[in-house]
Amino acid sequence: MYNYNDLKNKVILITGAAGLLGSEFSISLLHQNAIVIGVDNNSSGLKKLKNKISKIFVKPKFYIFKCNLTKEKDTKNLIKKIVSKYKKIDVLINNAGSKSSSLKNFYEKMENYKMKTWREVMSVNLDSVFLLSQIVSKYMIKNKSGSIIQIGSIQGILGNDGRIYKGSRLFGRTISSPAVYSASKAAVIGLSQYLATYLAKYNIRVNSVSPGGVENNHNKTFIKKYSYKVPMSRMANKKEIASVILFLSSKESSYITGQNIVVDGGYSSW
């Protein structure tokens, strides 16, 4: 009999919990009766999510912590606090991602890209993923058990097709996908493979999940151009990414490690 019953009372830490995907991951894991720890540097976003969750569940085991994950000391203190309170971390979901403090700088053309922006994005998308994996795996090693899930992207395995961004908007703003995004996500996938082989002896699994574009207030031009590139002719729904997170969090994926699970409607398969 296959099910996700083992997620009941599992302590699952999700970074970037206040965001589009992090919120969905939190809700889907709470439906499995997991203890969900949501971490984000956006405290109003976290409170909004907590409020939403309190309307869906009776006594949800959802706990929020504000932390800027680029701050090493704060991150170490936070994990210490979480482990002393909840005794363990069974699953770590490294989901936080940054578009830097200036969207204008984040979407800048490659020729003009500022190293300051590059480093700012890398510090969240890659450095914090390593740091959290390093700190949390120490506790997982003691328990001889754990699952670490890193959120990559199809941009980490493919070149960027800049043509789809002409006339495209998200929340009314022009968008594109910069080199730092691809580089950070490719690195996350490589890091996951390294960690998977290194941590396998302690019964800790490490995988990355690489979503394609997820529906989120994009304008019609983007949806049309993007969907044309997808064999399934549409963007992903956030629930379609969350279902893979459930699987990788549970014992049902007990023999899967070192993989990059691409969830892209076939985008990368032409």
Ligand X SMILES: NC(=O)c1ccc[n+]([C@@H]2O[C@H](COP(=O)([O-])OP(=O)(O)OC[C@H]3O[C@@H](n4cnc5c(N)ncnc54)[C@H](O)[C@@H]3O)[C@@H](O)[C@H]2O)c1
- Per CB under 6 A, residues contacting ligand X are 15-16, 18-22, 40-42, 45, 68-70, 95-98, 124, 151, 153, 211, 213-214
Residues catalogued as catalytic: 181
Q: Which is nearer to ligand X, 145 or 219 (CB)?
A: 219
Q: Residue 39's closest CA among 8, 12, 62, 16?
A: 16
Smallest distance from ligand X to CB 184, Å = 8
Q: Which is nearer to ligand X, 72 or 85 (CB)?
A: 72
Q: Which is nearer to ligand X, 178 or 213 (CB)?
A: 213
Q: Which is nearer to ligand X, 122 or 256 (CB)?
A: 122
